[in-house]
Structure 1
Amino acid sequence: MTPKQIDAFCRTLPAATRTVQWEGVTVFKVGGKMFCLIAPPGHSVGRVCFKCPPEHYEALSHAEGFRPAPYLARAKWVALDDPKFLTPAELKAYLKRALAPRLADEAEFHSSEPATSPGKPMKVPVNSIRAGNVIEYNGKLWVASKVEHISPGKGGAFVAIEAKALREGNKLQERFRSGETIEHVHIDDRECTFLFKDENGYTFMDKENFEQLVVGADVLDADLARFLQDGMEVAVSLYEGTPVGIELPKTVTLTVTEADAVVKGQSASSSYKPAVVEGGIRVMVPPHIGVGTRLVINTEDGSYMERAKD
């Protein structure tokens, strides 16, 4: 098979719904399962393996004329238990605990393929983009500030993205059809803990080297900032050493501070009512929810998900 044939074959495969790269490990989710491919430290796994789940790569490797790079022939596929990863930072922390010994065993691998360098764009499904991600569109770099997945009653589903130009500062509002691809720019994600907010912006501490990173209020969208809590673990995104955004956990637990009184006899199936949770966030909740109730809130759209179990 020629490189073009391999590339064409890969385009027929199901794309990964989410990817994270860390020290030669590529992790992605296919068919509801989490897999990772261990490659040499400092090297990427390449376009073919990025798009191939294990079962497809195994079949492809036996195809006549297929000659993968030497290290790929010996690379290891590892199926991971999926503990409902919420952020790249949480997933990387899991990898450090679970896969560090395996990475040490693979140190003898050799490859001439360069690692994915910061700032280099890579096509990904637009559905995988989240607030805080850097994308390349119309020749410019943009930081996504708000991402909405919309399924109208008529017509196909689409993804609405609001973004801010990384250098110029102007804003963008664009809609993409669900299933389209977009250029996601590789940036440096740091596992950090939120410390405090002051006149300089939002201060986070890098969990690895304890360096303090300040994200300006002009960089951090207000819709994201309202969910920050003391000690919250997030991923701070840096481009050329400058913080350009953060990625929050997918959900956060907050306490209701204001709500209409519970009406006797009213059921959960009744229409939702407005309420206010910590941070002054307004949310629609079931009628039986009262002040003091702890709720799980979706940080992507600020919607009520469920009553907290703690």
Structure 2
Amino acid sequence: MAFSATQIRRGMVLVFEGDPCRVIEFRHHTPGNLRAMVQAKLKNLRTGSNFEHRFRAADTIVKADMETHELEFMYQGGDTYHFMNSENYDQLELDDEALGDSAPWMQPGLKILAEYYNGRPIGIQLPNSLVFEIVETAPVVRGATKTASSKPAKLENGVTVNVPEFVEQGTRVRVNPSTGEYLDRAKD
């Protein structure tokens, strides 16, 4: 589907030089007596690289034909991660490179959304929060409050996050996987 460059919006996926690219930021700009343009920051979904491009208002942009499928993580074998499509039960393998920064957050049974372009998965979306148990951290300091400073804690998946001083080993916590930040103690 083709459209004018002035209709670019944040989050949109378009085809740029043959690759699917997500619009991270955009700014419509009309300088004085010159023609309008759109300055866009794009992320190439195939390579993962970010770049900027200036589109003229008259440019025609092609929107990428994307599909989204829910996948369930089953297990990891070496550097290959095995998923099952929840809709048709097909099994799929993705490597470390395809998962990128999301790889350490995989745990059996985790449901993710995978974006497909031309029948191939090119990116995944993790849930906004995941629950993990703290396996290693410094002991609780007497008198620590919620507003006290933070300390490093190692989660069961091997990722280290900063947690408040009052959180102890064995506590289950909610973490934002996209930023790696502690959210709160899990309520389960």
One fold, TM greater than 0.5?
A: yes
Equivalent-residue separation in structure 1 for 2:63 and 2:138 (angstroms): 43
- The answer (yes or no) to whether the contact 1:140–1:165 under 8 Å persists in 2 is no
In structure 1, what is the equivalent of residue 55 of structure 2? none
TM-score w.r.t. length of structure 1: 0.45
In structure 2, what is the equivalent of residue 34 of structure 1? none
Letter in 1 for 2:130: V
Seen in structure 2, the aligned counterparts of structure 1 residues 271 and 195 have a Cα distance that, compared at 3 Å, is same
Seen in structure 2, the aligned counterparts of structure 1 residues 263 and 305 have a Cα distance that, compared at 3 Å, is same
In structure 1, what is the equivalent of residue 72 of structure 2? 193
**Residues 1:247 and 2:132 aligned together:** no
**Residues 1:289 and 2:174 aligned together:** no
- The answer (yes or no) to whether the contact 1:215–1:244 under 8 Å persists in 2 is no
Helix, strand or coil: the match of 2:88?
coil
Equivalent-residue separation in structure 1 for 2:138 and 2:71 (angstroms): 37
In structure 1, what is the equivalent of residue 83 of structure 2? 204
Seen in structure 2, the aligned counterparts of structure 1 residues 238 and 292 have a Cα distance that, compared at 3 Å, is same
Return the offset for 1:173: 5.6
**Residues 1:302 and 2:174 aligned together:** no
- The answer (yes or no) to whether the contact 1:143–1:244 under 8 Å persists in 2 is no
Equivalent-residue separation in structure 1 for 2:19 and 2:91 (angstroms): 25
Letter in 2 for 1:285: V
The 5 A counterparts of 1:48-59 are none
Unaligned runs of 5+ in 1: 1-115, 148-160, 175-182
- The answer (yes or no) to whether the contact 2:45–2:123 under 8 Å persists in 1 is no
- The answer (yes or no) to whether the contact 1:258–1:276 under 8 Å persists in 2 is yes
TM-score w.r.t. length of structure 2: 0.72
In structure 1, what is the equivalent of residue 19 of structure 2? 141
Equivalent-residue separation in structure 1 for 2:42 and 2:174 (angstroms): 25
**Residues 1:124 and 2:12 aligned together:** no
Equivalent-residue separation in structure 2 for 1:164 and 1:264 (angstroms): 49
**Residues 1:231 and 2:79 aligned together:** no
Equivalent-residue separation in structure 2 for 1:276 and 1:162 (angstroms): 34
Which residue among 68, 74, 93 is the counterpart of 1:214?
Answer: 93
Seen in structure 2, the aligned counterparts of structure 1 residues 289 and 216 have a Cα distance that, compared at 3 Å, is same
Equivalent-residue separation in structure 1 for 2:21 and 2:157 (angstroms): 24
Equivalent-residue separation in structure 2 for 1:209 and 1:307 (angstroms): 35
More strand by share: 2
Helix, strand or coil: the match of 1:250?
coil
Equivalent-residue separation in structure 1 for 2:161 and 2:51 (angstroms): 24
Relative contact order (alpha carbons < 8 A, sep ≥ 6): 1 or 2 greater? 2
Question: 1:208-228 CA deviation, whole Å, 9 max, x = no partner?
Answer: 21111112222110x211111
Equivalent-residue separation in structure 2 for 1:228 and 1:142 (angstroms): 25
Equivalent-residue separation in structure 1 for 2:157 and 2:123 (angstroms): 20
Seen in structure 2, the aligned counterparts of structure 1 residues 191 and 291 have a Cα distance that, compared at 3 Å, is same
Seen in structure 2, the aligned counterparts of structure 1 residues 136 and 207 have a Cα distance that, compared at 3 Å, is same
- Cα-Cα RMSD: 3.0
Question: 1:99-119 CA deviation, whole Å, 9 max, x = no partner?
Answer: xxxxxxxxxxxxxxxxx79xx
- The answer (yes or no) to whether the contact 1:143–1:245 under 8 Å persists in 2 is no
Return the offset for 1:164: 4.7
Letter in 2 for 1:271: S
What fraction of aligned residue pairs are identical, expressed as a percent? Answer: 28
Return the offset for 1:191: 1.3
Aligned length: 159
Return the offset for 1:194: 0.6
Helix, strand or coil: the match of 2:9?
strand
Helix, strand or coil: the match of 2:8?
strand
- The answer (yes or no) to whether the contact 1:256–1:277 under 8 Å persists in 2 is yes
Helix, strand or coil: the match of 1:225?
helix
